[in-house]
Amino acid sequence: MANSQSRFFLLAMLCCMSTVAFAQTTTNSPYSIYGLGDPNTRSFAQNRSMGGAQIASSNPLYINAYNPAAYGFIAQPTFNITGNIDFLKMSGPSNQVKSNNAYMNDFSFGFQLGKRAGVAFTLNQYTKIGYNIQATENNPQVGTVSYQYTGSGGINHFLFGGGIALIKKERSKLYVGINGTYYFGFAETNRYVSEFIDQPTHLNSGISNRTNINDLALDVGVLFKQNLGKGNKLGVGVMYTPQSSLKATHEQFVFSYITNSGLLRIKDSVSYSLTDDQILTPSFLGVGLSLELGSSWTLNGDIKIQDWSQLQIYGRSENLNPRIEYSFGAEYLPNPDAMAKYLQSIRYRVGARNAQTRLNINGTQLTELGGSVGVGLPILKAKSTSTLNIGMEFGQRSGKDLTLIKEGFTYVFIGVSFNPHKFDTWFKRRKYE
């Protein structure tokens, strides 16, 4: 049966890697024009339903990608995958635009290694880019001038790491962990300036930039667990990612084009360049607390600081701010008894988060506020440790300046956590007589 499980997980991991990493439009936010795009979360569906608070979480049924030290708590082979449906409403001073995207957000696979350690592999997006901004103005000399800015792509990261127990006593446990992080992907931006709209004999100008990243970095984590007695436990977690210098290539293509009936046609290449360079990514520090009250209640709280002011692309600062996020969440399991009725085995989750974003536009700091709810449904049987995790987050990103775009969002996330167990019949090898 072990070989069958290994083949199943390997096949699922390869399929998900191709789905998560390629050919997805994951955002339509105009704010993804800044830096390398909008930062993405490492949280899976079960943790996003709890506001994303998880740095001190050590549930052995789920993989905690925010703290590699938690890999040491994995008790059996575990596979997590999350799909998203994002609804975005962008409101400006005079108009409103709605968009939606459906995509695979992440996957992870982990397993126990001996009695004191565990390893895990996770793939998801580090940043995401997707915008199409248009503007026009009247020039006294040439008439109407049209500007169009588009962007696509995003940077992915593949995490592979392990966690191990330095202290493993009945009342106290101390785990440390490390992740190797492989960054890969691209950020493509385009700018079109049309001074002569719908005049086929007149040339306009455009410029296309593409950044390709392929490099490795590290992050480390610590997780301490203290038994408080009467089934109560306290967890303290810390995760740190130092600033990293990543190898990158920069492609730039300058061209002239004409427009005819709204269609763009490139006429000539003005210049093309391909250079090797460096990108400095921001450091990250996260601190979390977790309180388990018996086997029914889990309370989590996190502070996450990602210093985007450190971001430099080809030696140029992007003039961003540190992102500081506070998140809180709770999970309630009515009856932790494995033989409970199905409805009593459902996990109920709620959470909230508040963030100072990386964006300060014209002196206005943008903030983000969100609230989330979700459930964890045992798959097929109440005794099953595999769960279907469904959640939803409502919130907004905005600033005090009413001329800036206000984004209202609804994120729906659906995830599955597979844990091969004696109660999960699909992991059993069928016998034929």
Backbone angles phi, psi at 351, to 5 degrees: -165, 170
Mean pLDDT of 92-118: 92
| Model pLDDT, residue 159 | 97
At 343 the pLDDT is 86
Residue 77 has pLDDT above 50, yes or no: yes
* Res 196: pLDDT: 62
pLDDT digits (tens, 9 = 90+) for 205-226: 899 999 999 999 999 999 999 9
Q: Is the distance from CB of 108 to CB of 67 less than 8 angstroms? A: no
What would the mean pLDDT of 301-313 be, rounded to a whole number?
Answer: 98
Strand-strand pairing, 316-317 and 322-332 = unpaired
Indicate the DSSP class of residue 195.
S
Specify the higher pLDDT residue, 303 or 16: 303
- Between 286 and 145, the more confident residue is 286
CATH of domain 2-427: 2.40.160.60
The residue with tokens 């955002």 is 27
What local confidence, expressed as pLDDT, does residue 202 receive?
Answer: 64
3-state DSSP call for residue 9? helix
Q: Of the given ranges (34-48, 231-245, 347-361, 377-391), which has the lowest mean pLDDT?
A: 377-391
Using the CB atoms, write b or e for 42-81: b if 16+ within 10 Å. bbbbbbbbbbbbbbbbbbbbbbbbbbbbbbbbbeebbbbb
In tens, the pLDDT along 2-33 reads: 444 444 444 444 444 444 444 567 888 999 99
Per-residue pLDDT for 201 more than 80?
no
pLDDT digits (tens, 9 = 90+) for 386-409: 899 999 999 999 998 888 999 999
Mean pLDDT of 98-124: 94
Q: Which residue has the tokens 């993989």?
A: 63
pLDDT above 80 for 338: no
Q: Which pTM value belongs to this model? A: 0.89
Burial group, residue 126, by CB count within 10 angstroms (0-12, 13-18, 19+): buried
Closest CA to 306 of 120, 96, 39, 77: 39
For residue 294, pLDDT over 60 is answered with yes
Instruction: Residue 103: count other Cβ atoms within 10 Å of its Cβ.
Output: 17
pLDDT at residue 175 greater than cutoff 80: yes
- At 396, the amino acid letter reads Q
Cβ contact 174:166 at 8 Å: yes
pLDDT value of residue 88: 96
Residues, the chain, total? 433
Q: How high is the mean pLDDT of the chain?
A: 88
Looking at residue 76, the DSSP 8-state letter turns out to be S
- Give the pLDDT confidence score for residue 19 in this predicted structure: 47
Chain position carrying tokens 């995790």: 389
| Domain ranges (residues) in the chain | 2-427
Band (pLDDT 50/70/90 cuts) for residue 266 is confident
Lowest mean pLDDT among 68-82, 111-125, 317-331, 371-385: 371-385
Q: Report the C-alpha gap between 189 and 205 in whole angstroms.
A: 15
User: What pLDDT is attached to residue 335?
Assistant: 87
Q: What confidence category does residue 169 fall into, taking pLDDT thresholds of 50, 70 and 90?
A: very high
Give the pLDDT band (50/70/90) at residue 160.
very high
- Concatenate the DSSP letters of all residues of 154-175 into one string: EEEEEEEEEEEEEEE-SSEEEE
Q: What is the CA angle 400-53-49, rounded to 5? A: 85
